[in-house]
Amino acid sequence: MDLVQLQRQLVDYRTSLYHEGFLDEQFTQLQELQDENNPDFVVEVVSLFFEDSERLLNELSNALEQQIIDFKRMDARVHQLKGSSSSIGAQRVRQLCIVFRNYCEAQNVEGCLKCLPQVKHEYSIVKTKLESMFQLEQQILNAGGSVPV
Amino acid sequence: MELMKSDNIVPDRQPRQEEIMQQQKQQEEEEERRFHVLAVDDSVIDRKLLEKLLKAFSCQVTCLESGEKALEYLGLLHNSATAASSSQSQQHQGLKVNLIMTDFSMPGTSGYDLLKRVKGSYWKDVPVVVMSSENVPSRISMCLEGGAEEFMLKPLQLSDVHKIQARILKSLPQS
């Protein structure tokens, strides 16, 4: 595939992520903050998000496996996940966290048990999509082109 | 270091060293003139974002991961809030903070706790902006009544930082 095709593919892919609600305008803000001084800013922030989310999702799984569920602690974790997904524009993850928090507040075990796998699922989808997008960007850079904004 | 006229290389080296030192001094002075912001948030992602947002406006940024770390930085951790003791003012000598931006919900010392401590101390004239991901009217009025310059909803954008900067720069004394 030539450079122009790659660039077009990237733009289309990115647009679809917004249309399908995986990303919202906060992700655009991240891209606007990237410049020559910080050419890897978006990748760095998103990588932090991946690390942080995986930790939080593990902690949430552990919390739900306990005999006595600490809803307050769980709520704090979900709040963190909601915050970080909001900060990078991972819209679907953020929206699910709102639902999850409602279940925690209501101390609804079944609700939580139903919600956690959904959050994990949405997280893994957005992670895969963002990684694909970054790969596409890297291909463009390797081909000597610039990443379209 | 002695200049050896017979050696062509050495005479060039000394002026360059001086140049470098001068450049460094200029850079340090420039840094001191820059707007210094404390960015306090327990989320590593939000700290990184806030730092970038502020640097986009040429601010010097110090990131701190908790209210306690912020109090420690400001020299407020172990003693009372009064600025009476001379040892405290010695600690503050040379330390310049133009703005504090803090998350509201942090474990331990919250953003609100930090706000109150700052407003009751030597640092009371430093504007404090409180940030939160939650739009809770009672929380907002509590912070504003507690002396916060502004309450902002996360995630912050460039336009938000621009707004704060404009307001605060206007009220900065010409030093």
For residue B83, the model assigns a pLDDT of: 46
Three-state secondary structure of chain B? CCCCCCCCHHHHHHHHHHHHHHHHHHHHHHHHHCCEEEEECCCHHHHHHHHHHHHCCCCEEEEECCHHHHHHHCCCCCCCCCCCCHHHHHHHCCCCCCEEEEECCCCCCCHHHHHHHHHCCCCCCCCEEEEECCCCHHHHHHHHHCCCCEEEECCCCHHHHHHHHHHHHHHCCCC
For residue B171, the model assigns a pLDDT of: 62
Query: Residue B12 above 70 pLDDT?
Result: no
User: Which residue of chain B is at minimal alpha-carbon distance from A49?
Assistant: B45
Query: Residue B13 above 90 pLDDT?
Result: no
Query: Residue B93 above 80 pLDDT?
Result: no
CA distance B175 to chain A (A): 30
Query: Residue B86 above 50 pLDDT?
Result: no
**Residues of chain A positioned with their CB less than 8 A from the CB of B45:** 45, 48-49, 52, 83-84, 87-88
Confidence of residue B175 (pLDDT cuts 50, 70, 90): very low
3-state secondary structure of A104: helix
Cis preceding-peptide flag for B11 (omega within 30 of 0): no
**Is B49–A87 a contact, with Cβ atoms under 8 angstroms apart?**
yes
Most B CBs within 10 Å, among A35, A40, A42, A48, to test the B interface = A48
Task: Compute, in degrees rounded to 10, the torsion defined by CA atoms B36, B107, A82, A39.
Answer: 30
End-to-end Cα, chain B, rounded Å: 39
Compare B35 and A85 and report the one with higher pLDDT: A85
CA distance A72 to chain B (A): 13
**CA–CA separation, A42 vs A32, rounded Å?**
9
**CB contact burial A11-28 (16+ within 10 A = b; e otherwise):** eeebeebeeeebbbebbe
pTM to 2 decimal places = 0.85
For residue B165, the model assigns a pLDDT of: 84
For residue B94, the model assigns a pLDDT of: 75
**CB contact burial B8-17 (16+ within 10 A = b; e otherwise):** eeeeeeeeee
Judged by CB atoms within 8 Å, which residues 95-124 of A form the interface with B? none
- List, for residues B118-138, the tens digit of each pLDDT value: 999 999 999 999 999 999 999
For residue B84, the model assigns a pLDDT of: 47
State the 10-residue block means of pLDDT for chain A, 149 residues long: 92 97 96 92 97 98 95 96 97 98 96 97 98 96 90
Percent of chain B scoring above 70 in pLDDT: 79
For residue B10, the model assigns a pLDDT of: 54
Bridge partners of B150, per DSSP, are B129
Query: Residue B78 above 80 pLDDT?
Result: no
**CA–CA separation, A24 vs A18, rounded Å?**
6
ipTM: 0.92
CB B164 within 8 A of CB B149: yes
Query: Residue B52 above 60 pLDDT?
Result: yes
Compare B96 and B172 and report the one with higher pLDDT: B96
CB B153 within 8 A of CB B132: yes
Compare B4 and A108 and report the one with higher pLDDT: A108
Compare B172 and A64 and report the one with higher pLDDT: A64
- List, for residues B100-111, the tens digit of each pLDDT value: 999 999 999 999
